[in-house]
Chains A and B, each alone.
Chain A
Amino acid sequence: MSTEHTATGLIGAPIRRVEDPVLVTGKGCYVDDIHLPGMLHLAVLLSPHPHAKIVSIDTSAARAIPGVRSVLTGADISERVNIPAPMVVPGMKIPPHPPLARGAVHAAGTPVAAVVAQSRALAQDAANAIEVEYESLPAVTDAEKALEPGAPLARTELDNNVCFLSTKTNGDVEKAFAQADHICRMHIASPRLVAMAIEPRGAVAKPEPAGDLTMWLSTQAPHRARADLATALGFPEHRIRVIAPDVGGGFGSKGPLYREYVLAAYLALKLGRPVKWIATRSEDFVGVIQGRDQAMTSELALKKDGTMLGLKARVVANLGAYLYANTTTPTQRMMGMAPGCYQIQNVHVEVAAVFTNTVPTGPYRGAGRPEAVLNIERLVDKAARELGIDPLEIRRKNFIRPEQFPYRTGVNVEYDSGDYEKSLSEALRLSDYQELIRYRDEARERGELVGVGVSTFVEPSGGAGFESGTVRVERSGEFTILTGSSSHGQGHETVYAQVAAEKLRVSMDQVAIRHGDTLAIQQGVGTFASRSAVTGGGAMVIAIDRVVEKARRIAGHLLEAAAEDIVQADGGFAVAGVPGKAVTWRQLAAAAYGGRLPRGMEPGLQETAFFDPKRDAWAFGSHVALVRIDRETGRLAIEKLVLVDDCGVILNPLIVEGQIHGGLAQALGEILGEHMIFGDEGEVLTGSLMNYAVPRASDMPPLIVGETVTPNPFNPLGVKGVGEAATNGAPAVVANAVMDALAPLGIDHIDMPYTAPKLWAAIREAEAKRKG
């Protein structure tokens, strides 16, 4: 960790986001703000059917509308054009994923035809005028049912609905279970969720005169999008430029290359005109990759005293009907963190990844992490209750201890650092835990349904290979920093500038952070998996160190001193112990670009670094919740929520707290009401904000946010991710509190979301049972 220059105090300072004045005054530039001369507009006709053969498509009425320039169906596009999906697990099935359905649709929302016209409204009119004759096929939407013998085939070209089976085994699981005093069993299902970025997806494709292609995309990962687009179209990658302008949120959902993006590019190249496509909210509901939808069946083997001996978990993950490049990510994440923060070495985890006739899934804030935390934390609480052990005691007994790090877990990943006991203690202190218990017990005496819950969790961040950073000292002595990590709301322009300015000993306004343009930026990866500070920040710091080293040698040359006597000073470098002997960055840049360099040194003052931490950074935290359930209506109220997170070194506490607030808001969605529901025939029942319950600001509970700081020893800034922390931990803590509230009624499990009618029905059933 190199934080040698803390004099300027920028790292860790609560600096307000420099990007906000532009965004909150409406001066941002999103894809829909791109207007090009001669631009045409794309509308896409989506299938309302979850599974059907396409008997015929009649586009004549659409073609006849004046102003319509092109109408396309699947038959018009080469079968070689498909959305690419990598072979993540050897032998996994990768059925074709065309941009327009070829012969059949396998999920509601599948694009069936595309229309380009002079205006978006006209294009939509024409799309609506297309007549498609469908022949319904049997559909399956539930992944566990899709595994049953005789289940309908979601993809009729396959023999069964399994995309892949994947297992991880460690230790002697059978022996552990044979020796156990108690086995706690549980089945838990995570609801399917829809990411709700304020800006829907969008693309503008512009064919360039020399045959190149420029794309503006609402994406989290411009370089990946470019590579995937090149693969999909068979178009040379180096002739594509992808620009991510301001992007209004992604939460994972803007990772993939969407079918409509490919269509916009394909049609722009075909017509020789720029083509714009902007999704409506309704299209995003059935178009963006959806999250969660994992069903987990688990067994935890324990000794009487609560010592955990072994864990078995079987995860059935619903992939939907088609694979995007990152559809399988949540399954891998879930497996990699199944034992949570506990010393369980005898572990068997298996994942069945299943095709169904539903919208494809993929990473959504958390991406497998909330499922894993929910699974292990509910299991631990349930085991504690069954064994008559305090839920804090069972956790403390089994925590991985600080001196055991780096710790290799039962699923063969290494946690870098942690102090779970400290985190839990801090959460208990901030929540006034004993007082909560007393309050609960008194309420319970009065017959009220009040519960207290705890969850302690780990979460991996970073990952997905490298990220890049370039530091360019301009002739003026100011700095341009190019990062491959493309911001879509995280605050890169603020946090990277804080770090860079401190490392370079200059003020923040002398540093410009640039991202989101594949022509300007060296190869990069993108922003997801809580990786920007860990991986992108790491790359930037390494590049800064390289620039500083070269500058030091130039400074030595200019100041006629040995490089080792040169030290960084505010605004440049100085000779150690010789007051007044100094050079500024501007003088160094003049030397670098003007020729006064040490003999043999290349001109220029710019460095690029690619950093791959080759391991995740394991953040962790502890949450405490107090909830109350209205016995008459089933309405759930979260009366207090304490969130203690440890993301290593904190670069900007305002950003950290903002991420926790936002992450919690999305966790609340899962807890309180968000649930993408498919009907018996596979039809979408919750395809709008009228019936899909995104939480409102007024749903936010009273919050206490706390922290512990355990630096990560394996990246230059000592940081761990925080973007998903509350999304990962909060569902489990509220689940534990709700089950604690309902424990006096003998209820030990309800799947989320905890809607009022669902809780009321469970209460009523339990009361009826007790009355006999």
Chain B
Amino acid sequence: MFPASFGYFAARSLEEALELLTEYGEDAKLLAGGHSLIPAMKLRLATPRYLIDLGRVPGLSGVRIDGEALAIGALTAHADVASSAIIRQRLPGLADAASVIGDVQVRNRGTIGGSVAHADPAADLPVILTALGASFVLASPSGKRTVAAEDFFIDFYTTALAPNEVLTGIRVPLPPSGAGAAYAKLPHPASGYVVVSAGALIIRQPSGQCASARVALGGMAGRPLRAGATETALQGKALTPQVIAAAAAKAAEGSDPIEDAYASAEYKRQVAAVYARRAIESAAKRAGQKI
């Protein structure tokens, strides 16, 4: 519990953070809520020479509607995502996911940007954000670019972020009326991290048919996986429990989950189907389907 010695910078602006990042490059790590990085440093699994603290950079937190999307500042704490009135009203599935991260202390300090940039394959937010079709705003000294979630998450702790880039915001498209999203998670009994989780976005036609479905799975690979076979099986179908169950049963098709001392690959495939079903059912209900 004693990190190696390191230097610390408290950036006062995004520009200053980018300058420091450019100067120290791979010797530096950006510090947001610190709830993944600091424990790793205490265990000396991470030994950055410098920390660039984003905590005092103005304008990086908060939730607002920006055109057809929800704009969430990267430094917005999980607790604020979970309790945001806008999110609870328009995207309760995202609030669900934020509310089951870690414990109260983690949710009060940990940030959405930190979770996304850290890209832990057992984290909650990357899964729901993938299901919701979110994209991420990345700033560098040469300007800003926006990367879709599916292009952003590459593998274990690996993202599309360049060494000189800072994740500043998350954009989540606001779903049309008749849409519903939900998140369901089997937590690891020790860490509380995802063993398997599922996020679903269902757009329902007034007739009760599924206009479109996006389903993402966590814990099944080094990055969130889209459950393509499940989505296809829902497309255009009436959202009955039988249809949902049959579609969810295909959730793990084509996946090759990694085993650990707790759960076998076979178990993960099984519960992926169960949690996909639960997430789809909740999402369909929120979309107005009676189940």
Interface residues of A (CB under 8 A from B): 120-121, 124-125, 128, 280-282, 632-635, 672-673, 677, 685-686, 688-695, 755-757, 760-761, 764
Check if A632 sits within 8 Å of B2, measured CB to CB.
no
Check if A633 sits within 8 Å of B262, measured CB to CB.
no
Closest-by-CB residue of B relative to A124 is B2
Please give 14 more A-B residue pairs, beta carbons under 8 A apart, in addition to A635-B186, A677-B261, A761-B266. A121-B2, A125-B5, A281-B1, A282-B1, A632-B271, A633-B271, A673-B189, A689-B191, A690-B193, A691-B188, A691-B260, A691-B261, A755-B189, A760-B270
On chain B, the residues within 8 Å of A124 by CB distance are 2
Interface residues of B (CB under 8 A from A): 1-5, 43-44, 186, 188-191, 193, 260-264, 266-267, 270-271, 274
Separation of A672 and B264 alpha carbons in the complex (Å): 17
On chain B, the residues within 8 Å of A282 by CB distance are 1, 43
Check if B1 sits within 8 Å of A691, measured CB to CB.
no
Check if B2 sits within 8 Å of A761, measured CB to CB.
no
CB of B271 to closest CB in A, whole Å: 5
Check if A121 sits within 8 Å of B5, measured CB to CB.
yes
Task: Pick the residue among A120, A673, A760 that contacts B190 (CB under 8 A).
Answer: A673
On chain A, the residues within 8 Å of B264 by CB distance are 757, 761
Closest-by-CB residue of A relative to B191 is A690
Check if A685 sits within 8 Å of B261, measured CB to CB.
yes
Check if A632 sits within 8 Å of B190, measured CB to CB.
no
Separation of A685 and B261 alpha carbons in the complex (Å): 8
Check if B4 sits within 8 Å of A125, measured CB to CB.
yes
Closest-by-CB residue of A relative to B42 is A280
Q: Which of B1, B44, B186 has the most CB of A within 10 A?
A: B1
Separation of A696 and B164 alpha carbons in the complex (Å): 40
> With A281-B1, A632-B274, A760-B267 in contact, do A693 and B190 touch (Cβ < 8 Å)?
yes
Check if B5 sits within 8 Å of A756, measured CB to CB.
no
Tell me the dominant secondary structure on chain B's binding face: loop
Task: Pick the residue among B4, B262, B270, B274 that contacts A691 (CB under 8 A).
Answer: B262
CB of B129 to closest CB in A, whole Å: 23
Check if B2 sits within 8 Å of A755, measured CB to CB.
no
Separation of A124 and B4 alpha carbons in the complex (Å): 9
Closest-by-CB residue of A relative to B122 is A690
Closest-by-CB residue of A relative to B277 is A632
Check if A690 sits within 8 Å of B190, measured CB to CB.
yes
Q: Which of B4, B186, B188, B271 has the most CB of A within 10 A?
A: B271
Check if A757 sits within 8 Å of B263, measured CB to CB.
yes
> With A757-B262, A757-B264 in contact, do A691 and B186 touch (Cβ < 8 Å)?
no
CB of A760 to closest CB in B, whole Å: 6
CB of A198 to closest CB in B, whole Å: 14
Separation of A672 and B262 alpha carbons in the complex (Å): 12
On chain A, the residues within 8 Å of B193 by CB distance are 690
On chain B, the residues within 8 Å of A689 by CB distance are 190-191
Check if B267 sits within 8 Å of A757, measured CB to CB.
yes
Separation of A688 and B188 alpha carbons in the complex (Å): 13
Closest-by-CB residue of B relative to A125 is B4
Check if B189 sits within 8 Å of A672, measured CB to CB.
yes
CB of A622 to closest CB in B, whole Å: 28
Q: List 17 A-B contacts (CB under 8 A).
A: A125-B4, A632-B270, A632-B271, A633-B270, A634-B267, A635-B186, A686-B190, A686-B261, A690-B190, A690-B191, A691-B261, A693-B190, A694-B190, A755-B262, A756-B267, A757-B262, A757-B263
